[in-house]
Chains A and B, each alone.
Chain A
């Protein structure tokens, strides 16, 4: 089980109308990075994408689950407004602060090009429904339901 999971960055779970996934990592940072990867793969196959454009992201949230939701929401925002489809993520660190939790990260991707990128349905938003951030023997796992 543990070895199996280490090979897997994320997996999709059943949801009738929206998309639900779990992402894994040996660190919480890695689990958050893989959650971002899972979210973009709901919309598009990111495997052929190149890391050409960089966006630096800083987020502070009252708790760790909200930090996860806000991290993904921020990426969605940049996807829509700056028109970048992201494929690589590097979270420097997730820290506990006085007010809650914070993260600093880099997100890499390429400008949306409809002649090359084949999008399925759009992720509209990151919900708080069944949102999880957990640690167990195998490392960290997070769970997210996104509205599609």
Chain B
């Protein structure tokens, strides 16, 4: 490991305290430099593979400005996790490897009128209830039996379908990125296999780093913006983190094979087969984009259905009706997605396919895609911490449009593998330590807790501070966990 660290520093050129470049001479075929946004402290834990994968992305046709890695970046497969890249609509590519298997894995935050003091004495029971009400973990079955027609509608209309089917209120839709569904989605581009995997998992959380968390506002950095978001100190919030389940995994898998062939057909040379891609506007590229959008919509519908069950559970638990609990959705963001967006590049407006793989869109005040209620302050940028560490709500800025194609980080980023975590940590011990700090954790069994132990992630404060210092998003509130339910 120490050798790797030295290696990373010797490759990178420092631009400023939070910006480091991978020069184009680093790897043959790089069309643009790589750009890593980290503090010198985070640089110490940066893996060599993260640089390598960022440099690989820089070789893809039509890439604009830089292949970027956000402060929480770590190595993945194909793109690094925390990778952001934009490709020219006409000369560039689109790649499932730049989105990942869990299409539109994302987070949402629901506010409440409850205070931390009210909830704290009963949080263990509350988490137990949520754990039972929202299916999670490998092999868990949904409470919904979606018909074929419903599944198609979910692929088409995402959160909008869910709300119209009784899972939520109209306002929820306006508080989702893309209003809860990408209009380009085409369910006819989704395979039978993806449908078969998606159907029984509709309304399930999944496993791994997915979770449901009860939190409270611990610190307010910007009173004015917090007010616009409906947040204040001491208030309880709920965070939902999950994605498109087997439907998304299978869509990615199917199109990886199709684009693997297309890569050869269009004569694109790749340093990593996982970066399989096709010209953005080619039939292969567009078919993937339409199927990916259907997968993204499935994820928005999934989080919406779960939100409804969370509200029902709270209502029953606190014996208060949902309106009285004030459980409005603050916002919902996608972490793994490709979007056709307009950006100003070298002084010119351009349409580009922005790939965010483990990165959050962070649009500024005044942007037409920011919901009207937030138009004056910018998009809420939701950054979950790992289990037991704080999460943050930030707001978008103009600077992100200049520096990162309107993007920020998506979490705190792993520094240790799941296998190492299971060797190093004992699930029950972590659970007790967290309980002593007032954080109640409920999982299917202890090794799930060990895999996601707080110690396997970069400190969320450090990651968010880099984002804040770069001014690609500004801190609004800090949320501390009170209880976590996970698969």
Chain A interface residues (CB < 8 Å from chain B):
12, 14-19, 43-44, 62, 65-66, 70, 73, 77, 80-81, 83, 112, 114, 117-122, 124-131, 145, 147-148
CB neighbours (8 Å) of B256 from chain A are: 128
B207 contacts A129, CB within 8 Å? no
Beta-carbon contact of B74 and A119 below 8 Å: no
Q: Which residue of B lies closest to A70 (CB)?
A: B257
Interchain CB contact under 8 A, A16 and B448: no
Give the A-binding residues of B (Cβ under 8 A): 47, 49, 74-78, 81, 100-102, 137-140, 193, 196-197, 200-201, 206-208, 246, 249-250, 252-253, 256-257, 260-261, 272-274, 276, 414-420, 422, 444-445, 447-448, 451, 487
State the Cβ distance, B5 to closest chain A Cβ, in Å. 14
Q: A62-B261, A119-B139, A124-B102 are in contact. Are A16 and B417 (CB under 8 A)?
A: yes
Given A19-B419, A66-B260, A119-B444 in contact, is the A131-B273 Cβ separation under 8 Å?
yes
How many residue-residue contacts, CB under 8 A, span A and B?
112
B147 to chain A, nearest CB (A): 17
CB distance from A147 to the nearest CB of B (A): 5
Q: Which of A16, A114, A120, A131 neighbours the largest number of chain B CB atoms within 10 Å of its CB?
A: A16
A124 to B101, Cβ gap below 8 A? yes
Which residues from chain A contact B445 at a C-beta distance below 8 Å? 118
A66 to B273, CA, bound (A): 10
Question: A128-B276, A129-B273 given as contacts; is B77 within 8 A of A16 (CB)?
Answer: no
Show 14 A/B contacts (Cβ-Cβ < 8 Å), sorted by A. A14-B417, A15-B417, A16-B416, A18-B76, A77-B196, A119-B139, A120-B447, A121-B418, A122-B138, A122-B206, A122-B207, A125-B249, A128-B77, A128-B274
B139–A16 touching, CB < 8 Å: no
CB closest chain-A residue, reference B272: A129
| Bound: A47/B261 CA distance, A | 38
Give chain A residues whose Cβ lies under 8 Å from the Cβ of B139. Answer: 83, 112, 114, 117, 119
Known contacts A77-B250, A119-B139, A121-B448: A128-B207 contact under CB 8 Å? no
- Asked if residues B77 and A129 are in contact (CB atoms below 8 Å), the reply is yes
The reply to whether B77 and A145 contact each other, CB–CB distance below 8 Å, is: yes
Taking the nearest CB of chain B, how far is it from the CB of A118, in angstroms? 6
Decide if A17 touches B273 in the complex (CB within 8 Å). Answer: no
Interface of A, secondary structure class, is loop
Name, among A117, A118, A129, the residue most crowded by chain B CB atoms within 10 Å (CB to CB). Answer: A129
CA distance A12 to B417 in the complex (A): 11
B251 smallest CB distance to A (angstroms): 10
Shortest distance between the CB of A115 and any CB in chain B (Å): 11
C-alpha gap A125/B486 in the complex (Å) = 20
The answer to whether A81 and B253 touch (CB under 8 A), given A62-B261, A124-B102, is no
Q: Known contacts A12-B419, A17-B74; decide if A122 and B208 are in contact (CB<8 Å).
A: yes
Cross-chain contact B193 with A77 (CB below 8 angstroms): yes
CA distance in complex: A148, B253 (Å): 14
Given the known inter-chain contacts A119-B444, A148-B418, please indicate yes or no for A17 contacting B81, CB distance below 8 A. Answer: yes
Residues of B within 8 A of A83 (CB): 139
Which of A81, A112, A119 lies in contact with B196, CB distance below 8 A? A81
Contacts A114-B137, A120-B448, A121-B207 aside, 12 further interface pairs with beta carbons under 8 A come to A16-B415, A17-B418, A19-B418, A70-B257, A77-B250, A81-B196, A119-B444, A120-B138, A125-B249, A126-B253, A128-B77, A129-B273
Q: Which residue of the partner chain, among A73, A129, A130, contacts B253 with CB atoms under 8 Å?
A: A73
B261 nearest in chain A by CB position: A62
CB neighbours (8 Å) of A73 from chain B are 253
In the complex, the answer to whether B197 meets A81 with C-beta atoms within 8 Å is yes
Please measure, in the bound complex, the distance between the C-alpha atom of A106 and the C-alpha atom of B246, giving whole angstroms: 23
Bound CA span A18–B81, Å: 11
Given A66-B257, A121-B207, A131-B273, does the pair A17, B76 have CB atoms closer than 8 Å?
yes
Give Cα A125 to B97, complex, Å.
12
Q: Once bound together, how far apart are the Cα atoms of A13 and B197, in whole Å? A: 29
B74: contacting residue among A16, A77, A127, CB under 8 A:
A16
